[in-house]
Amino acid sequence: DSGVTQTPKHLITATGQRVTLRCSPRSGDLSVYWYQQSLDQGLQFLIQYYNGEERAKGNILERFSAQQFPDLHSELNLSSLELGDSALYFCASSVSTVNTGELFFGEGSRLTVL
C-alpha cells in the first residue's frame, strides 16, 4: 500500500460527459502528479501541483483541468469526453519535488468512455 488513494477505481461513462477523479496523497506529501496510461501512448504526464499551486504542465488537453485543495487532495476533471480518453489515470505524490527520487503512485482510476 503506497498510501495514495484514488477514487473511483472504475468509471464507465458516455461520450460528451464529464467526470471527476479524486486523489488523496500520502500523509505529509505536498506534491501531486497526474498521469494518463494508455496502451498506445504509455504513461503520459498531465500536470503537477505543489502545495495548492500548479507547478508543471505536460500533455494535458484543454478539456481537462485539475486542482489541489487546501487539505492537499487533488481532483482531475475531464469534460466533453471522447472515446480516446479511455485510459488508466494515475495520481502520484511526493514530499516536495520529484528530485527527491521517488513518486508514490495510487492504484489508478480506470475510465471507460462508450
Partner 1 sequence: GDSVTQMEGPVTLSEEAFLTINCTYTATGYPSLFWYVQYPGEGLQLLLKATKADDKGSNKGFEATYRKETTSFHLEKGSVQVSDSAVYFCALYNRDDKIIFGKGTRLHILP
Return residues touching partner 1 (CB under 8 A).
2, 4, 31, 33, 35, 41-43, 45, 48, 50, 55-56, 58, 90, 92, 97-99, 101-108
Distance CA 111, CA 1 (A): 22
Closest contact distance (angstroms) between CB of 5 and partner 1 is 11
CB of 88 to partner 1, least distance (A): 9
Label the pairing between strands 87-94 and 109-113: antiparallel
Backbone angles phi, psi at 85, to 5 degrees: -80, -10
Q: What's the CA gap between 9 and 95, in Å, rounded?
A: 24
Give the residue with the Cβ less far from partner 1, 2 or 77: 2
In this complex, which beta carbon is closest to partner 1, that of residue 2 or of residue 15?
Answer: 2
Q: Round to whole Å and give the CA distance between 80 and 52.
A: 25
Shortest Cβ 81–partner 1 spacing (Å): 23
